[in-house]
């Protein structure tokens, strides 16, 4: 059972955090005094902050995510089961950290350019969905990762089948998001058209109906 933290296994996420700090040191004197910290759907800045505050958001977020996603399985009520597949949790952690590092780099670029490359963000979200979709079916039942709703937490069968379906939906939705983003379809259309149905079906409709069916068969 992989139930101990191993620094060799964490070279990639620790390396990302170190690179993020180095990028902050390099870019800090080159950025204006105030930088964008929020953008509208068209990539236009609509909120600004001092550059130190803006950069600290990610410099705090990345280590916090690393610590949370690395060690939270050790306090999970299903700890014994979760730690049998601890490597799956770590792969999902690394995927999330790489995504937020990617957003951090785009944020630094946009801070200098004054505009966010929305297509790059949308493609990144699509890749995130594709990668997560590949690992969702491998996740053991737990309270912190995956598609967590009352019906998946209550039933091992509902958890397993929901994550198989969810994995396929995430991959298909992610590929569609990448394709349509490259075709310049606005995120305001993609959000209700792709992401909304994926969440609705995988997190509410399917597990609820499956749970009720299984209960009726008892």
Q: Going by C-beta distance under 8 Å and a sequence separation of 6 or more, which residues neighbour residue 33? A: 50, 51
Looking at residue 154, its pLDDT comes to 92
Looking at residue 165, its pLDDT comes to 96
Question: How far apart, in whole angstroms, are the C-alpha atoms of residue 67 and residue 135?
Answer: 20
Per DSSP bridges, beta strands 34-39 and 45-50 are antiparallel
User: What phi and psi values does residue 50 have, to the nearest 5 degrees?
Assistant: -60, 150
pTM score, whole prediction? 0.88
Looking at residue 5, its pLDDT comes to 62
> How many helices (H) does the chain have, and how many strands (E)?
10, 2
Looking at residue 46, its pLDDT comes to 76
Element (H, E) at 52: helix 51-71
- Domain ranges across the chain: 1-116, 118-218
Looking at residue 92, its pLDDT comes to 94
Question: Per-residue pLDDT for the chain (218 aa), expressed as one digit of tens each?
Answer: 445 667 778 888 999 999 999 998 988 888 888 877 777 777 777 777 787 887 888 889 999 999 998 988 888 888 888 888 888 999 999 999 999 999 989 888 887 777 788 889 999 999 999 999 999 999 999 998 999 999 999 999 999 999 999 999 999 999 999 999 999 888 888 888 888 899 899 999 999 999 999 998 87
């Amino acid at each position: 059972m992989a139930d101990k933290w191993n620094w060799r296994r964490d070279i990639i996420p620790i390396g990302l955090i170190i690179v993020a700090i180095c990028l902050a040191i390099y870019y800090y004197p080159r950025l204006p005094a105030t930088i964008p910290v929020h953008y509208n759907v068209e990539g236009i800045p609509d909120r600004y902050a001092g550059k130190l505050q803006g950069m600290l958001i990610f410099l705090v977020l990345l280590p916090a995510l690393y610590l949370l996603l690395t060690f939270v399985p050790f306090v999970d009520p299903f700890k014994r089961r979760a730690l049998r597949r601890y490597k799956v949790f770590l792969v999902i952690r690394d995927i999330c950290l790489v995504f937020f590092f990617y957003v951090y780099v785009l944020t630094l670029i946009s801070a200098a350019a004054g505009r966010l490359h929305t297509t790059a963000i949308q493609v990144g979200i699509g890749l995130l969905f594709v990668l997560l979709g590949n690992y969702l079916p491998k996740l053991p039942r737990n309270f912190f990762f995956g598609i967590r709703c009352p019906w998946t937490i209550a039933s091992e069968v509902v958890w397993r089948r929901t994550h198989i379906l969810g994995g396929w939906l995430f991959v298909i939705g992610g590929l569609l998001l990448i394709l349509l983003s490259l075709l310049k379809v606005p995120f305001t259309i993609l959000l209700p058209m792709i992401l909304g149905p994926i969440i609705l079906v995988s997190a509410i409709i399917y597990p609820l109906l499956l749970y009720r069916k299984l209960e009726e068969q008892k």
